[in-house]
Amino acid sequence: MGDAARKAREVGVVGDATLRGFLGYHIKRAMAVLQADLNKVLKPFGLRMVTYSALVTIVDNPGLRQAQLADALAIERPNLVVILDELEGAGLITRDKVPSDRRAYALNPTLKGRRLAEQATAANRADEARLLQGLAPADRNRVIEVMNQIEHGPGGAQS
């Protein structure tokens, strides 16, 4: 480390050259911005990131069971309970007894839930478009491909 770097630090600049060498570091920093931003957009709807994800997944998959939802969202079952309590308490979903298995509950959105999900999704789309303005669709798709490779392994194998 040279004098320039030492001097820069004295006026408040700290280098992160080594960390910048990792793709994961860039992704982590971007993710922090995305998460803060998303929660700000969702706040007026009374939703957080997890409650939004849960609601949208229930709207997309009406009738699914809690264990299935927990799997899809990578949430532990006990933690999902309070999230669903919140959505049910807000009148956005119902827990309906399923006749064929009296242990289970089928999760269904209410009309209010479907409408709120639609509005929140529109708001999120608008916000993401703002964050990504000027980004070519091809580049966006490329990024998605890379994220999927990271998630599922090279070649896109589903693990």
Residues that bind a second copy (CB under 8 A): 1, 5-6, 9, 12, 14-19, 21-24, 26-35, 38, 53, 56-57, 59-64, 68-69, 71-72, 74, 121, 124-125, 128, 131-135, 139-140, 142-144, 146-151, 153-155
The strand order across the sheet containing 93-98 reads: 64-65, 101-109, 93-98
Angle at which helix 111-131 crosses helix 49-60, to 10 degrees, equals: 120
Cα–Cα distance, 109 to 92 (Å, whole number): 6
* Min CB(150)–a second copy separation in Å: 4
30 is an interface residue for DNA by CB under 7 A? no
First CA to last CA distance, the chain: 42
**With CB cut-offs between 5 and 8 Å by kind, which of DNA, a second copy, none does residue 14 bind?**
a second copy
Q: Any contact of residue 3 with DNA (CB under 7 A)?
A: no
Q: Which is nearer to DNA, 97 or 142 (CB)?
A: 97
Question: Which residue intervals of the chain are DSSP H helices?
Answer: 3-10, 17-20, 23-42, 49-60, 66-73, 77-89, 111-131, 137-152
Where do contacts with DNA occur on this chain (CB under 7 A)?
48, 50, 65-68, 75-81, 84, 95, 100-105
